[in-house]
Structure 1
Amino acid sequence: MISDDPDAERLVAEPAKDAGHGRGPYERDRARVLHSAAFRRLAAKTQVHVAGTDDFLRTRLTHSLEVAQIAREMGARLGCDPDVVDVAGLAHDLGHPPFGHNGEDALDDLARPCGGFEGNAQTLRVLTRLEAKVFAPDGSSAGLNLTRAALDATGKYPWPRRPGQRKFGVYADDTAVFDWLRRGAPAQARSLEAQVMDWADDVAYSVHDVEDGVHGGYLTLDRLLDDPDERAALCADVAAVYSPESAVDLSAVLVDLLGDPVLAPLADYDGSHRAQAAVKATTSVLTGRFVVAAVSATRRRFGAAPLRRYAADLVVPRDIRAQCALLKGMALRYVMRRPGAESRYARQREILRDLVHRLTERAPDVLDPVFAPWWKAAPDDAARLRVVIDQVASLTDPGATDWHRRLSTS
């Protein structure tokens, strides 16, 4: 059935379902993502810490659930369809490969001959091609066949790769579906739902990864409170990676942030039940602060009417965005770059390089049944490499390690 609402349209028309039961198209989108294989695999993919190394720490799955919850509540306050922003939060990391951003960088280097690798572009590919749900009349896969609005909401970077730019949202051979979902959208503009999801991702990343770092014993505030040189070094990291602000400007925000009593439990953490509750209270306050600030600033600029799609842009106050970036910088400096981490990252990159090399040599026989036919049908070496990259990107952290071990000994 073709929808009269272009936002609710699907690339492949489907017969009407749930007649009389009131379930809308975006609720169906949400269910499709929740029940997808790609979503389940996020349970064994790295967030910041290696998946499975600690029962307390977050994975890509728990992170995605948290992003979806934050995005849903924030979007509802602005007038967005709550299921659309929920879908975006649940789906935004489906394209991430094994080993987190380290794996993403490794696959980008390996995939240069076929256009590179980017987690957001891979998410679009997962949703519109790689997941098994709906097929077009010509026999090609339409992936989960989500609505236009839901697909558009997952697009953090709605443009192809540009020279010198790391972030992009579509590979060359997915241009057709990208053009379809972007029909009627301003060029390179992000929908409000995508902006809400992106800010929810930043909020969850910054607050929760700091919480994990404190619990794991990697992050304490003592050095920052006592050492001005350490504060300057953190601000330099944040300016280089997460913020357009200068290190000098960030330093003033950092002083205010460290002086906020809400952060006190991070300095006094001893792992006890009471300490865990205190840190959880800190994360709750910070999350609420970041969400309310963005909603209030957006409302002040665009008014009280319901806002959705391209009727508004999300407004995040400068100091709030800087605070969020500084928290992300703490996770970067004290968790991801902690002593000994680089040797593990090097081993992860080595596993992915070897895996891509061995699969390229031995495909299609060693590929999953899903990917082998695509490899056989690929018209050239670049297209065959893309299938190999799809196979590797689909693996979990332990799955990539197991595949590498098996192919290295057989």
Structure 2
Amino acid sequence: MLHSSALRRLAGKTQVVGPLDDDFPRTRLTHSLETAQVGRELGAQLGADPDLVDAACLAHDLGHPPFGHNGEQALAVAARACGGFEGNAQSLRELTRLEVKIVDDDGRSAGLNLTRASLDAATKYPWARGRGPDPGAVKYGAYDDDLAVLAWLREGAPPGRRCIEAQIMDWADDVAYSVHDLEDGVVAGHIELAALDDATHRDELAAATARRFPESTAAAVAAALDTLRAQPWWIRSEITSARGQAALRQMTSELIARFSRAAVRATRERHPAGPLRRYGADLVVDPATIAECAALKGVTAWYVMERPGARARQVRQREVIGELVELLLRDAPRSLDPSLRVIFQAAPDDAARLRVVIDQVARLTDASAERRHAALRGRPVRRVL
């Protein structure tokens, strides 16, 4: 996994702050590495296979496109005619179709040649669209085109149930995302935590968070913010000095430890003894901790995603993605990377050909998407990052 080009490309893909917005923002790659560190430690404490959890954490974002979740929304629109787009389903395609390590008899990539257990652990949502426990759920883990692969990796698994390694990966992702994205927002100057001392402002933020992350109510998020703000390591002062930067790092470490300990404690209350592997147990996280995690995600969304000027930039990014799909499709297969040309030429219909173009766009970094778009339009590069 560490040696795959798909993982390396994550270095140029937006996490929250664009990869070229500063000298050292977190990217999808650093987020994946940090998720793996949290997940490996959690897995070891619970008796799960830490190597399996580590691989799942490294793989979980491989399918995410340029421009973060904004790019995912744009590709979902562009891919309507071939069944839509979902980053988690795209990750399965990277692992089993697009990333080249082995090839089949026809010379097409067969992915990284991972085991069933590794693929299952990397699958957050082990169902196709509309076929999960909640048919209306937005998230899913496989396109209809990949159902045979999903059936193979899920052979013998309880329908709709995730293995505990996937559950650990999912929580590690939430922990890393909520804590580190908050830290990046503070460092970038978008987030001032002292503003949360205003009760009215805090209530507005809690309500907005509950709408965006419905796993917690507004009241639960408000209570979580109060709890976190009462901790001795919660910062309110500036971070420009060495002391301020150290305080921010301490808060980050305390939050990760807090969320990790809570999951281990709650899980061990339900499963008090023995190693916890595959389908023999479930990860448990108490509602208060889930609300605290959601609260941090809500703070970042409020101050970073919704900051002045962000919407105009997001609109332009979606335009680039939509136009790029049209331009690549018009000139395909010549416009595609060599490994995808073969797949495009063998595609049986228009929907399958569109899916290959979607694969191409999803693989691009923020910067290469911009360059490819400008080149196809015959224009100078216009930076929209």
**TM-score normalised by L of structure 1:** 0.89
Map of 1:176 onto structure 2 = 148
Per-residue deviation at 1:270? Answer: 2.9
Map of 1:277 onto structure 2 = 246
Structure 1 residues 268-277 or 72-81, which shifts more? 268-277
Structure 1 residues 237-246 or 43-52, which shifts more? 237-246
Instruction: Report the AA paired with residue 153 of structure 1.
Output: A
Map of 2:219 onto structure 1 = 248
Q: Do the aligned residues in 2 keep the contact of 1:214 with 1:269 (CA within 8 Å)?
A: no
Per-residue deviation at 1:387? Answer: 0.3
Unaligned runs of 5+ in 2: 380-385
Instruction: Report the AA paired with residue 245 of structure 1.
Output: S
CA distance in structure 2 between the partners assigned to 1:406 and 1:249 by the alignment: 49
Instruction: Report the AA paired with residue 279 of structure 1.
Output: L
> Once the two structures are superposed, what CA deviation does each residue of 1:30-64 show, in whole Å capped at 9, x if it has no partner?
xxx10001001000000001112112310000000
Q: Do the aligned residues in 2 keep the contact of 1:243 with 1:322 (CA within 8 Å)?
A: no
> Once the two structures are superposed, what CA deviation does each residue of 1:182-204 show, in whole Å capped at 9, x if it has no partner?
00111111110000000000000
CA distance in structure 2 between the partners assigned to 1:251 and 1:127 by the alignment: 40
CA distance in structure 2 between the partners assigned to 1:262 and 1:291 by the alignment: 17
CA distance in structure 2 between the partners assigned to 1:65 and 1:200 by the alignment: 11
Large movers: runs of 4+ above 4 Å? 137-140
Per-residue deviation at 1:141? Answer: 2.7
Q: Does 1:60 align with 2:60?
A: no
Map of 2:203 onto structure 1 = 232
Structure 1 residues 370-379 or 62-71, which shifts more? 370-379
Of 188, 197, 204, the match for 2:160: 188
CA distance in structure 2 between the partners assigned to 1:46 and 1:96 by the alignment: 9
CA distance in structure 1 between the partners assigned to 2:265 and 2:103 by the alignment: 43
Q: Does 1:88 align with 2:59?
A: no
Map of 2:382 onto structure 1 = none
Q: Does 1:257 align with 2:225?
A: no
CA distance in structure 1 between the partners assigned to 2:220 and 2:176 by the alignment: 24
Map of 1:387 onto structure 2 = 356
CA distance in structure 1 between the partners assigned to 2:201 and 2:24 by the alignment: 28
Instruction: Report the AA paired with residue 112 of structure 2.
Output: L
Of 320, 327, 334, the match for 2:303: 334
Q: Does 1:288 align with 2:257?
A: yes
Q: Does 1:69 align with 2:37?
A: yes
Map of 1:361 onto structure 2 = 330
Q: Does 1:103 align with 2:71?
A: yes
Instruction: Report the AA paired with residue 206 of structure 2.
Output: C
> Once the two structures are superposed, what CA deviation does each residue of 1:229-277 show, in whole Å capped at 9, x if it has no partner?
21111111221122333212322222222222221x2x11232222111
Map of 1:12 onto structure 2 = none
CA distance in structure 1 between the partners assigned to 2:64 and 2:237 by the alignment: 34
Per-residue deviation at 1:400? Answer: 0.1
Q: Do the aligned residues in 2 keep the contact of 1:158 with 1:188 (CA within 8 Å)?
A: yes
Instruction: Report the AA paired with residue 296 of structure 1.
Output: R
> Once the two structures are superposed, what CA deviation does each residue of 1:193-216 show, in whole Å capped at 9, x if it has no partner?
000000000000111111111111
Instruction: Report the AA paired with residue 226 of structure 2.
Output: V
Q: What are the within-5 Å matches in structure 2 for residues 10-49 of structure 1?
A: 33-49=1-17
> Once the two structures are superposed, what CA deviation does each residue of 1:267-304 show, in whole Å capped at 9, x if it has no partner?
11232222111110111011001001101111111122
CA distance in structure 2 between the partners assigned to 1:50 and 1:219 by the alignment: 16
Per-residue deviation at 1:134? Answer: 1.3
Of 283, 289, 302, the match for 2:271: 302
**TM-score normalised by L of structure 2:** 0.95
Per-residue deviation at 1:347? Answer: 0.8
Secondary structure of the 2:264 match is: helix
The percent of aligned pairs where both chains have the same amino acid is: 58
Instruction: Report the AA paired with residue 55 of structure 1.
Output: D
Q: Do the aligned residues in 2 keep the contact of 1:120 with 1:169 (CA within 8 Å)?
A: yes
Instruction: Report the AA paired with residue 169 of structure 1.
Output: G
Q: Does 1:153 align with 2:121?
A: yes
Secondary structure of the 1:98 match is: coil
Query: Aligned residue pairs: how many?
Result: 375
